[in-house]
Structure 1
């Protein structure tokens, strides 16, 4: 059974995701789909619209066969470590033959040449990065410019002019870098992103909209029903179900009170120890609070944002404060060690067959829950804590929901 791996957030699963999934099966000539999916908190430093089990059900009903959780230690990171953790998990299954990701370009060849040259970051590239960061540019902008200059120096002008400022292109490059760095035999493919950009907040097509636009539509509507043209029926059904149960949809406003409590109750010295807190940002954070007209996340982000600090960087910083992620927990040396387990969130009958194969092919332990295991795996313990923080944002939270990781079995179809 040839299998393609997808790296996803499905926040929520929409028509564009369904197109990507079907095209991935087609161009890789695969029979099954393994998805590595972020849990309750996501790569751009945001809480998920719905909990990870509901989004797993969306994934399975949308065509995935096996869903594996990307731990929060990696799911909330910048592109390099997000990609590294996800690719490592796909490789660790031992059953994934191909990786297919969406990109603005759809052309994987320049990205592969860049990845082959930069997988182990030559000193000349590090020098270009240092020079560009010294101009005050944000890290993503500095990285794109350093790649452009390095590839121009190598005489590869097609790669030098490649649109790395576009988010899916950049993420795709980091998937390829991760494949190179771990020496994986997984074959990469890319599909051109169509009709809606990654962060496009407005809707310009009758059926395809970005997840950003769909979340905005849901947040500004009286019912998730407004999103019906842009999402599969199963996604709408699950959105309505969780909405009726008071479990979502959630967003940053749902977490404002616990976040502001931590910011005002902790010293600048304590704040400085959180992951992503850098260059005195803790002082800027403390100074911003008294000047806010409303204790909400968006005004705080606007007050903090500069050329150096992008909104995404700031969201990830605030998320580290909310979740209590200290720098020593998520240092590059710790992250480089990789994930220590494969946490299964759900599977279909075909996924059950893949799991049976994985008993002999997987290079990491396979876990169906956190019961009696989280103390052995520090990153799993962080996921248990993240579930509790996420559940507390729901108005009808119960003690059982706070510790759902311990007893919840994988979603099955």
Structure 2
């Protein structure tokens, strides 16, 4: 991106979930600022439901506060329709927002490999997928490979001497970020930082100060006698304080178990034809899910019953989430999902973030939304619906969360 005459602003973009924000995220943010020599930062963040098909532990406003508290200047939301999809669609939605903001110079993401050249080479060659690649991908999926494994194997068939394992979560997300940049013909410069000390899916604490979000959530949900102090070494004090506040207000921790009765009702009340209309639902799955539901007392039990070699855990979680939110193929088409996000939603900003917003309002190629008076676009209607359903998982009584999308202004933080 060419800087205007006299424009000394240099902005790095980050794609995040912060579920919750921990010390590893702080490291990535600080290293990204150094590597890119950025003066400003933008984080595009998933809302209340996440890419792996699960609810966030606390709502997007609380996680926006966490982001601003560590120095991020502007937080934008990935629309629900993109935030809860496979890596390719998730990445396209997130990167599109950065691209259409027209104020981001670089994108810095974490990866297990820490190698950019191999990922770039693969992205450039696969940007216009050949029919052979598509056929190979379909074949490996039909053999029961997980999507990351199938994608990586199909990629190896296309590229000689390919050395980056795409069955590692950060590698595959990074690859799809590069793929999205290539397809958008974006001037944003990609950079990567190697993930260290704790793997994405690592469930235990193995380092005195760095742990994965998975390990932290595991400690919160599954350890007996849990106290917030037990995760204190692994999260910034601000994150800890925000979590404690949300706990006290009855707005967390939120998990799939908080929606299981609602999900059960929906699965029982819909026939197989209705369930088949859910986006990405395959033939035979509605029958399997409804059958196993009858012997599953909780969400984890249901997942264990329906998971197979062909149907990976994350893929099924996304299907059940889309069922909970009633995201049908027809709704996706109404939202023109293939085009990309229809707007840029602002969740929060710092004083420096206001400078970015002023720049975005002059340059952005999508409408910028700071407050919702009425959700007119079907994609925005899904965002509102998602937040309303998410609030049903709160422990607090009452329905205050149902109007939060309309009443909550962007979070402002001075730093």
Q: Name the TM-score, length of structure 2 as normaliser.
A: 0.95
Q: Matched residues in 1 for 2:291 and 2:155: separation? A: 36
Q: Matched residues in 2 for 1:88 and 1:397: separation? A: 38
- Pair 116,234 (structure 1): closer, same or farther in 2 beyond 3 Å: same
Query: What is the 5 A alignment of 1:54-93?
Result: 54-93=62-101
**SS in structure 1 of the partner of residue 167 of structure 2:** coil
Q: CA deviation at 1:189?
A: 0.3
8 Å Cα contact 2:252/2:395 also seen in 1: no
8 Å Cα contact 2:14/2:109 also seen in 1: yes
Aligned residue in 2 for 1:6: 14
Higher mean alpha-carbon deviation, 379-388 vs 120-129, is at 120-129
Q: Matched residues in 2 for 1:249 and 1:333: separation? A: 31
2:238 aligned with 1:234: yes
**SS in structure 2 of the partner of residue 189 of structure 1:** strand
Q: Matched residues in 1 for 2:350 and 2:301: separation? A: 43
8 Å Cα contact 2:335/2:378 also seen in 1: no
Aligned length: 403
8 Å Cα contact 1:276/1:316 also seen in 2: no
Q: CA deviation at 1:252?
A: 0.9
Q: CA deviation at 1:136?
A: 2.9
Aligned residue in 1 for 2:28: 20
2:217 to 215, 218, 239: 215
1:308 to 294, 307, 310: 310
Query: What is the 5 A alignment of 1:44-59?
Result: 44-59=52-67
Aligned residue in 2 for 1:411: 411
2:295 aligned with 1:287: no
- Pair 134,215 (structure 1): closer, same or farther in 2 beyond 3 Å: closer
Aligned residue in 2 for 1:188: 190
Q: Which runs of 4+ in 1 moved over 6 A?
A: none
Structure 1 alignment gaps of length 5 or more: none
Q: CA deviation at 1:62?
A: 1.4
Higher mean alpha-carbon deviation, 232-241 vs 361-370, is at 361-370
- Pair 50,181 (structure 1): closer, same or farther in 2 beyond 3 Å: same
Structure 2 alignment gaps of length 5 or more: 1-8
Aligned residue in 2 for 1:382: 382
2:208 aligned with 1:206: yes
**SS in structure 2 of the partner of residue 255 of structure 1:** helix
Q: Matched residues in 1 for 2:335 and 2:152: separation? A: 24
2:38 aligned with 1:30: yes
Higher mean alpha-carbon deviation, 401-410 vs 340-349, is at 401-410
**SS in structure 2 of the partner of residue 352 of structure 1:** helix
Q: Matched residues in 2 for 1:196 and 1:253: separation? A: 27
**SS in structure 2 of the partner of residue 10 of structure 1:** coil
Instruction: Write the deviation string for residues 288-343 of structure 1: whole angstroms up to 9, x where unpaired.
Output: 12233x2x110000000011100000100000111111122225993221111111
Q: CA deviation at 1:89?
A: 0.2
Q: Matched residues in 2 for 1:223 and 1:271: separation? A: 40
Query: What is the 5 A alignment of 1:9-408?
Result: 9-152=17-160, 157=161, 160-219=162-221, 220=223, 221-292=225-296, 294=297, 296-331=298-333, 334-372=336-374, 374-375=375-376, 377-408=377-408
Instruction: Write the deviation string for residues 133-172 of structure 1: whole angstroms up to 9, x where unpaired.
Output: 34232332211100011112xxxx1xx2311111110010
Aligned residue in 1 for 2:3: none
**SS in structure 1 of the partner of residue 170 of structure 2:** helix
Instruction: Write the deviation string for residues 173-198 of structure 1: whole angstroms up to 9, x where unpaired.
Output: 00000001111000000000000000
Q: Matched residues in 1 for 2:144 and 2:247: separation? A: 43
Q: CA deviation at 1:112?
A: 0.2
Instruction: Write the deviation string for residues 389-413 of structure 1: whole angstroms up to 9, x where unpaired.
Output: 0111112243332121112110001
Q: CA deviation at 1:365?
A: 1.0
